[in-house]
Amino acid sequence: MSALPVVFADIEAAANRIEGHAHRTPVLTSSTIDRQTGGSVFFKCENFQRAGAFKFRGAFNALSKLGESERRRGVLTFSSGNHAQAIALSGRLLSVPTVVVMPQDAPEVKVRATREYGAEVVLYDKHETTREALGKKISDERGLVTIPPYDHGDVIAGQGTAALELFEKTGPLDYFFVCVGGGGLLSGCAAAASTRSPNCRVIGVEPEAGDDAARSFKTKTLQTVMNPETIADGARTPSLGKLTFPMVLALVHDMMTVSDKELATTMFYLWERMKIVVEPTGALAAAAALSGRVDLRGKRVGVLISGGNVDMAAIPRLLAIANK
């Protein structure tokens, strides 16, 4: 376990670093959902995190560890939205200039918030180039430090603090469902679970259209996907990373996928029953937990709600998908 790029001690150090800056988000329960599943389900609600998603944890931890010369030069990242906002807000709080590369079709609510937090936003056409290629070009030209959205040790450690807080609140769990795009959150949460609740089965969840992580997990060979068409915009990453892939293989117990219809239905169900605003990507783990494909009767279950940055203009389309 010590050979992994991020270990439990890194997560504990990150928790100390972000203390007083990141919100200690609530853990919510629902008697209706407990009756439906037959288990005791605990929702770690990162939709109440600063900038509206778990991403603030990793971004603030990573920027906090920069040296003075690196802070003066500034940082660059690429993101469809939540990591973008997190880097922008962390940069503002720590007086670090930030540049964010975002796809032209990123939710407007996320683009607007990223700019309002003070970042320079560079939009690109995802059909003509990749965010990694454009990001490298800009960072090389300007001498910026690149902090990617998931494949970075300090980012992974920061994301793992969400699970650390959950286990502090609930004690050991039998299952823990976590959404996965590039695997930063899943890797960090699995590392925390391996120490805090070693008998807990950690299950990663991604959209059917972007099932690269599930295929990678099952084949033990890194798989990719290009620009998957899914409402889970935060999980449109091309693949797991060089750091996250080995962590997922070592620490995660299973992977699941859910359809866009399941995702939209679950999102609105959480809105209606739990009165919490969750974005499509944020509902991935809940959609798997509520799918009935895992027997949760008599089990203690953690579910990571990853974000709540909903593009209100997209609601009619999301309702149409839910009602198909």
Q: Average of pLDDT values for 235-255? A: 96
The pLDDT, as a whole number, for residue 10 is 98
Q: Average of pLDDT values for 196-201? A: 98
CA dihedral sign, ordered 25, 26, 29, 30: negative
d(CA 148, CA 55): 11
The pLDDT, as a whole number, for residue 1 is 45
233 or 12, which is more confident: 12
Burial of 229 (0-12, 13-18, 19+ CB in 10 A): exposed
- The residue with tokens 């200690």 is 24
Question: Average pLDDT over the chain, rounded to whole?
Answer: 95
Q: Average of pLDDT values for 210-224? A: 97
Helix (H), strand (E) at residue 41 = strand 40-45
Give me 190's structure tokens: 């699995």
d(CA 173, CA 199): 8
pLDDT at 277 over 70: yes
Cβ–Cβ contacts within 10 Å for residue 16, how many?
A: 10
Residue 307: pLDDT band with limits 50, 70, 90: very high
Residue 23: pLDDT band with limits 50, 70, 90: very high
Q: Average of pLDDT values for 222-244? A: 93
| Catalytically active residues, by annotation | 55, 80
d(CA 176, CA 251): 12
pLDDT at 80 over 80: no
12 or 128, which is more confident: 12
The pLDDT, as a whole number, for residue 170 is 98
pLDDT at 47 over 70: yes
Helices (H), the chain: 8-18, 31-37, 55-64, 68-73, 82-94, 108-116, 131-142, 153-170, 184-196, 212-219, 244-251, 260-274, 284-289, 315-322
Which of 124-128, 215-219, 243-247 comes out lowest in average pLDDT? Answer: 124-128
The pLDDT, as a whole number, for residue 3 is 86
pLDDT at 106 over 90: no
Q: Sheet holding 75-78: strands in order across?
A: 120-124, 98-103, 75-78, 145-146
pLDDT at 218 over 90: yes
pLDDT at 238 over 80: yes
pLDDT per position as a tens digit, 119-167: 999 999 988 888 888 999 999 999 999 999 999 999 999 999 999 999 9
Q: Average of pLDDT values for 194-217? A: 98
Q: Average of pLDDT values for 47-66? A: 97
**Under 8 Å between Cβ of 51 and 113:** yes
**Under 8 Å between Cβ of 264 and 138:** no
pLDDT at 244 over 70: yes
Global pTM reads 0.95
